[in-house]
Amino acid sequence: DAMVIQNPRYQVTQFGKPVTLSCSQTLNHNVMYWYQQKSSQAPKLLFHYYDKDFNNEADTPDNFQSRRPNTSFCFLDIRSPGLGDAAMYLCATSGGTGAGNYGYTFGSGTRLTVV
Amino acid sequence: AQTVTQSQPEMSVQEAETVTLSCTYDTSESDYYLFWYKQPPSRQMILVIRQEAYKQQNATENRFSVNFQKAAKSFSLKISDSQLGDAAMYFCAYNAGGTSYGKLTFGQGTILTVHP
């Protein structure tokens, strides 16, 4: 089945140690998103790629970076994780722009713990 | 900026009964999309139902239906014949359409408990 896959499902990292979360998709969707979801809160958009065009949200900290080497893969890099970055990180894809938006397909998320 | 508000942090319902989750939003756009997403504990977020603002007819998907009141900027979700598997966090979400590239703004979520 076509899907969005996030690895790993759980990630533990040390305070200040760089960490990378990965997302892959078999849907051939042109838009990929990274959301941060803290416990019992709404997901918050960090950034998205429309094809190779990177779009950062204004309030996303510089500590968060992203890479999209091809259509299928997108990575979230946290350069120096702090305790406040512990959260669920959701990857999602969308096949269209606004007029053709049929909602997202989400991955299962990566739960990041910072120790 | 668009905002989405879910005023019910928690709701509960008896199995086989009906429950309605509330959502209001604020926008100056005339064309947009609204969604309800379901997020079971430790599981993937999935799309429940979608509504296009230019359509007056309320969307329906099996036991799930919406009451879309555009003038009031209200978008409630009705779950009929509730099942134990409906227990989850439900998020209302808004997309401005146009060139927004599908960016979704989520409400705070409503935790739904289903009692057997």
pLDDT of A101 reads 61
- Asked if A14 contacts A113 with a C-beta cutoff of 8 angstroms, the reply is no
Q: What is the pLDDT of residue A99?
A: 40
User: From the CA of A2, how many Å to the nearest CA of chain B?
Assistant: 14
Per residue in B102-115, pLDDT (tens digit) is 688 999 999 999 99
Give the Cα-Cα-Cα angle B26, B31, B33 (nearest 5 degrees). Answer: 70
Quick one: which of B92, B90, B95 has its CA closest to B27? B95
B27 CB contacts (<8 Å, ≥6 apart)?
B2, B73, B94, B96
DSSP 8-state symbol, A53: E
What pLDDT shows up at residue B99?
57
More confident site: B67 or A96: B67
pLDDT at B26: 95
Q: What is the pLDDT of residues B46-104, one digit of tens each?
A: 999 999 898 889 999 999 999 999 999 999 999 999 999 999 999 999 988 765 566 88
A42-70 pLDDT, tens digit each: 899 999 998 999 999 999 999 999 999 99
Give chain A's mean pLDDT. Answer: 90
Nearest C-alpha neighbor of A30 from the set B47, B46, B102: B102
Q: Does A87 touch chain B (CB under 8 A)?
A: no
Question: Residue for token digits 């100056």?
Answer: B28
pLDDT at B43: 78
Q: Among A35, A52, A57, A101, which would you mutate to test the B interface (most chain B Cβ atoms within 10 Å of its Cβ)?
A: A101
The answer to whether residue A86 neighbours chain B at the CB level (below 8 Å) is no
Q: What is the pLDDT of residue B56?
A: 84
Label residue B41 by pLDDT band (50, 70, 90): confident
